[in-house]
Amino acid sequence: MTQHSLSGTPLKLQTLVGCGVVLLALGLAAGAVSIPSAAGYGGVGPNFLPWLVAVALLVCGGFMVWESRTGGFRALDAPVGAMHGNWAGFAWVSAGLLSNAALITTIGFILSCTLCFVLAVQGLRGAEGKADRRPVAWLKDAAIGLAISAPVFWMFTKFLAINLPGLTSSGWL
């Protein structure tokens, strides 16, 4: 598969990827237009980060298009891994993300993020061919997820004063 021909399929796909990044940047910029620009803490408004990301994506996408049109992405490593995606792993990770979004206001940030972590780890392990469905593995993953999500919740709510959905009104769970 040669990458030095401008008419080659790999170069067309590379150009499409670059154009997709440019379109994503333009979509983000279009959304950033509707965000108010009133300066907040530190002199930056809520639209600063979306504009920053939009500009960065636009620069990266433009560079990707230029790179693909002038000979293709250079010094690419040979592809590694499976020839096809692991659909079961994708389903586990998707279930984790969707359950987090669905349950965060019901069971709180800590428990929903812990569940997300447990399901995502199951999917990633399964994709590696190292699935472990024993109850002790689930409990270990839950403990690790809890050890990650609880300090994040407390840091955001107690130290940064950012309201995240909790399980109780005390603010500690």
**For the residues of the chain, what is the DSSP string, one character each?**
--SS-TTSHHHHHHHHHHHHHHHHHHHHHHHHHTS-----GGG--TTHHHHHHHHHHHHHHHHHHHHHHTT-S-SPPPP-S-SS--HHHHHHHHHHHHHHHHHHHHH-HHHHHHHHHHHHHHHHHHHTT----SHHHHHHHHHHHHHHHHHHHHIIIIIS------SSTTS--
**Domain contains 32:** yes
pLDDT of the residue at 155: 86
- Output the pTM of the full model: 0.59
Digit-coded pLDDT (tens) for 138-156: 999 999 999 999 999 988 8
Residue 81 has pLDDT above 80, yes or no: no
SS3 for 37-80 is: CCCCHHHCCCCHHHHHHHHHHHHHHHHHHHHHHCCCCCCCCCCC
pLDDT of the residue at 26: 96
Q: Return phi, psi of residue 134, to 5°.
A: -70, 145
**Domain contains 78:** no
In this structure, the answer to whether residues 56 and 101 fall within a common structural domain is no
In this structure, the answer to whether residues 95 and 40 fall within a common structural domain is no
> Which residue do the tokens 């979004």 mark?
101
pLDDT of the residue at 2: 44
In this structure, the answer to whether residues 16 and 62 fall within a common structural domain is yes
Cα 32 off chain centre by: 19
Average pLDDT over residues 49-75: 91
In this structure, the answer to whether residues 56 and 95 fall within a common structural domain is no
Structural domain including 114 reads 87-159
**Domain contains 76:** no
Digit-coded pLDDT (tens) for 7-26: 456 788 889 999 999 999 99
Residue 87 has pLDDT above 80, yes or no: yes
- Range ranked top by mean pLDDT from 1-5, 22-26, 69-73: 22-26
